[in-house]
Amino acid sequence: MLLILCLVAFRNLRADPVKWGTTTTVAPGGWGRMAALTNGNWLAVSTVFPAGTNSYLSILISSNSCRNWTAIARVQVAGRTLDNGELVVLPNGNILLTMRSLIGTTSFLLPVYVSADQGRTWTYLSNIDSSSGPGGLWEPDFLVLTSTLAVFYSNEAHPGFSQLISEKISTDGGTNWGAEIWAVAQNGGGSLRPGMPQIVRMANGNYILVFEVVNSGNADVSYKISSDATTWAGGLGTHIPCQHCGPFVTAVASGIVFLTSCENQVSFSRDFGATWQRLQTPPWNLGFNFSWPALYNTGSNELAAMVTWGGVNLRFGNLVPLAPWPNPFADNFNGGTDTNWTRYDGNFGFASGTYLLNDAGTNGKALTGSEFWADGTLETDLLISTPGNAGVVFRMTNPDYTGPDAGFDYYAGLDTGGFMVFGIQSNAWSQLATTPMTVAINTTYHLKIVMQGSLFKLYAVDMNTPKVTWTNSTFARGQIGVRAFQCNASFDNVSFTNAVPTRLNVAATNGQLTFTWPFAPVNVKLYSATNLQSPLLGSPVAISPSLVNTQWTLPVQQPAASRQYYWLQGR
């Protein structure tokens, strides 16, 4: 008889997936980028700006996990200004270096150099593209594909387009380059300027290309996804919240995708770019500045954030294993902190065990919970102390801080004008329903929202009879949070009871086991072992699950052992 035991195993309460720690200086110059070598060392390139002459590139090496660096070479071309250095390591161990190389506004090149000795000497190999102006070529980024090499770069040389992102492919390790591909361009041309491309392969095999779009907001960051990194949908992609100017993207083995930009914040996606949220704690407290940041997976459980600010610097962070949210989740703020909440705009504080949103004349929100929460019951105690409205958000994804309705979610709140309101925020406000009720200043009201699929019931004061019952299917999942609009408000006893907790199910048919569990972050993996011990020690099942009707499905062969244990565990 085969005994199968299914478990869900997590530890602790959810925190940011990165805990930032120590720092180091890579180089005294500007613009830094890195690459991991085949022998475990790391190579970095940085721009040096000597007084009275043209800039050049300095090459540095680290043999102790990026903690200390030594300059070993330079690449310098008489009469030309070099910057935007980018490194890549080929499968044969050779290292390629590209950059922008220019003479004023009359000559633009994207040269490629090769090193076969771990970066100590460099030989000119090829040129990716050239322009004699006035349009320039900028910010190249390499990507190693299965049997070819791709490069992406900003291109101002096409009439009718202020700038677009070009791509070329080399089939011989960078010696020759194929025809130009337009990866990102404004439909029909125009003044929008997609640029500063960065690309990475995600754990699901797809490629995500991120880029800024100058003249859209504050150089808003967007992305595109491709299955082969050479075929791209038209247009300017999909906006990523909270990020502006000079983006950089990386992906780690667990499946999480991390992104940064000159906002000097870090966002992450646990569903391959479909939704994004911001880390509460940034690696560098720089605010928006032209720091040209980058992110690197410098160890199995380590992420490094690079900035150019007083030199090229790194801050290292530990990747924190995913932990589940308790069910029910509750926060009474008695400790005077909002650990596990992320703030988006607004003014926050604590008083007498309540969470203060002091947003008279402005707006703000704070979010908590899983972006995969769907059905359940959300409750809070709410007190509004100045005229305006405040309440709760739920099923929120892609939150931003650029306005009161920045994000995609439902909102239910009270207004001191004398009503309860229910509506949709999708970077704009769309009201669904209101109902009259007395909302007095400095009076506490208990709110409860029950959500089941597309059915919503909103309660205030009377917990037996809903004030609003509504059907809407716009948003299926997302975080919960609190929000204040043009008023001061305080919240207490926030709770959410999840009606669809993560649970592992199994069915056995014809020598096969089919495991299913609710839609959850990509870094929740199925593990297996033949012995049950504490702590649980096992190996992840090598097969990747498929997403079928909002749940993960994973078929495996029935094990030969008479006793087998399976569980879900966050990486």
**Torsion sign, CA atoms 527, 529, 531, 537:** negative
**CB burial readout 516-555, b (16+ within 10 A) else e:** bbbbbbbbbbbbbbeeeeeeeebeeeeeebeeeeeebebe
Residue with tokens 């080929």: 90
Residue with tokens 């320039």: 136
Whole-number pLDDT of residue 365: 97
**Torsion sign, CA atoms 340, 549, 199, 152:** negative
Label residue 420 exposed, middle or buried (CB < 10 Å: 0-12, 13-18, 19+). Answer: buried
Report in angstroms the alpha-carbon separations of 212 from 56, 70, 183, 362, 523. 25, 32, 13, 28, 27
Cα separation, 387 vs 486, whole angstroms:
8
Residue with tokens 């990486």: 571
Q: Which of 266, 142, 110, 301 is nearest to 207 (CA)?
A: 142
Cα separation, 545 vs 387, whole angstroms:
50
Identify the three-state secondary structure at position 272.
Answer: coil
Helices and strands, counts by H and E, the chain: 0, 47
Identify the three-state secondary structure at position 319.
Answer: strand
449, 459 Cβ separation under 8 angstroms: yes
364, 357 Cβ separation under 8 angstroms: yes
Report in angstroms the alpha-carbon separations of 113 from 57, 85, 86, 96, 173. 12, 11, 11, 6, 11
Report in angstroms the alpha-carbon separations of 109 from 87, 118, 136, 164, 327. 16, 24, 9, 16, 58
- pTM for the model: 0.91
Whole-number pLDDT of residue 1: 43
Whole-number pLDDT of residue 11: 42
> Tokens for 47?
């721009």
**CB burial readout 138-162, b (16+ within 10 A) else e:** bbbbbbbeeeebbbbbbbbbbeebb
Question: Average pLDDT per run of 10 along the chain, which is 571 residues long?
Answer: 52 72 96 97 97 96 98 97 98 97 96 98 98 95 97 97 98 98 98 98 96 98 98 98 98 95 97 95 97 97 97 97 87 95 96 97 96 96 98 98 95 98 97 98 98 97 97 97 98 95 84 86 83 77 78 86 82 65
Whole-number pLDDT of residue 3: 52
HSE-up of residue 520 (Cα within 13 Å, Cβ side): 25
Residue with tokens 């390499």: 142
315, 340 Cβ separation under 8 angstroms: no
